[in-house]
Amino acid sequence: MLEADLSRVYNFSMRDELLFKLGQSIRYIRLKNEMSQEELGFKAGLSTNSISAIERGTFNFKIKTLYNIAEALNVKAEEILDCKF
């Protein structure tokens, strides 16, 4: 039973880390493109609050949202997933 509980905590931490890294990648590309959160949100069909939460890694978003953000940033989704900074 304890092993299953630890597994859930571990998986939860991995998810949080992934969301944080994706958010940082989006933020890096957005700033590189000299774009505000408001502008990115408008182009991606999201609120400024949603963009902020995504960049902080606190918003668990869908793959479709990732593609909308990538399109708004004028990059491929793969670039967000593989961003090295």
Over residues 24-83, the pLDDT tens digits come to: 999 999 999 999 999 999 999 999 999 999 999 999 999 999 999 999 999 999 999 986
- pLDDT in the model for residue 14: 84
CA–CA separation, 77 vs 82, rounded Å? 9
**Single-letter code of the amino acid located at 10:** Y
Domains delineated in the chain: 2-81 (1.10.260.40)
Q: Is 81 helix (H, G, I), strand (E, B) or coil?
A: helix
Name which residue leads in pLDDT, 9 or 56: 56
- pLDDT in the model for residue 84: 67
